[in-house]
Amino acid sequence: MTTEQDVLGRIKALTEEEHELRQKAQQGSIDSAEEHERLKNLEVALDQCWDLLRQRRALRVAGGNPDEAQARPGSEVEGYLQ
């Protein structure tokens, strides 16, 4: 079972990883192609986490069970319209 605290912890860890990656890129420790690919993967993972968190909160507000929320595939969460 994934709790909101678990999801928030994952978001924090991914955000920290993103900051570290950007620092390494500025320092020249990694090349831009590697940075771009890893950032893309991080962005998808973050979008999935935020989507899962929104699902959990919506279920709770609607009187449902937040534990029924499930992570959606990256292709789905990246396809949402703004």
Which has the higher per-residue pLDDT, 39 or 80? 39
Nearest to 74 by CA among 36, 43, 44: 44
Q: Is the pLDDT of residue 1 over 80?
A: no
Is 76 inside any structural domain? no
Is 73 inside any structural domain? no
Is 43 inside any structural domain? yes
Residue range 19-44, pLDDT digits in tens: 998 888 888 888 888 888 999 999 99
Distance from first CA to last CA of the chain, Å, rounded?
29
Is 80 inside any structural domain? no
> Both tokens of residue 63?
């009187």
Q: Are 41 and 14 in contact (CB under 8 A)?
A: no
Is 60 inside any structural domain? yes
Is 81 inside any structural domain? no
Average pLDDT, the chain: 90
Is 71 inside any structural domain? no
Q: Are 35 and 23 in contact (CB under 8 A)?
A: no
- Residue 56's pLDDT band (cuts 50, 70, 90): very high
Is 70 inside any structural domain? no
Domain coverage including residue 16:
4-65
